[in-house]
Amino acid sequence: MALKATIFKARLQIADMDRDHYGDYPLTLARHPSETDERMMVRLLAFALNASEGLEFTRGLSSDEEAELWRMSLSGEIDLWIEVGLPAEERLRKACGRAHRVLVYSYGRRTAPIWWQKLGDALARFDNLRVYQLPADGTEQLAAMAERNMDLSATIQDGHIWFGTSDRSVEIIPQVLK
């Protein structure tokens, strides 16, 4: 019998001063059996950084044809495609061909720098691709915040993100790789 996804509920309050976007989002996240708390929380962070009307979580790990998050235009085209982790070059090439904008939020203490060193030159040709590396200490602290029911806040200003609960928070400064 196949393992089922674990459902997490998050109430996310966002104050994004960089984009002048403020909102409260009741979110439901399905964590795939093979997904870690760190990866799930990075998906939540990616949502906070790009929150807007129409941005939604997809089937993610369960589908090769969908992003982790995306936003569709009114005409049905993919306006924004967001990946987290260390996606393969082929996956990013397909995403860049299908979407107007593609964002990658990479993370991993040892693996992310090696991934970027290997793929950076090959991905340089895609003008619609932006790649960020999240600090390992920050994503590990995010993972510690994972609970089945979460009340979270995200404050974004000058490229810094303060993400937290009522009793703890973490500051994350994504490094722009491309």
pLDDT-derived band at 2 (thresholds 50, 70, 90) equals low
User: Which two three-digit tokens encode residue 142?
Assistant: 């995010």
Phi, psi of 48 (to 5 degrees): -60, -40
pLDDT in tens, 101-133: 999 999 998 999 999 999 999 999 999 999 999
Q: Is the pLDDT of residue 7 over 70?
A: yes
pLDDT of residue 32: 85
| C-alpha separations of 150 from 47, 64, 145 in Å | 15, 28, 8
Report the half-sphere exposure of 69 (CA within 13 A, side-chain side).
27
- Residue 10 has, within 13 A of its CA and on its CB side, a CA count of 27
Q: What is the pLDDT of residue 64?
A: 66
Contact by Cβ (8 Å): 16, 51: yes
Tens digit of each residue's pLDDT (9 = 90 or more) over 35-90: 899 999 999 999 999 999 999 998 755 556 788 999 999 898 999 999 999 999 99
* Domain spans, the chain: 6-176
CATH of domain 6-176: 3.10.640.10
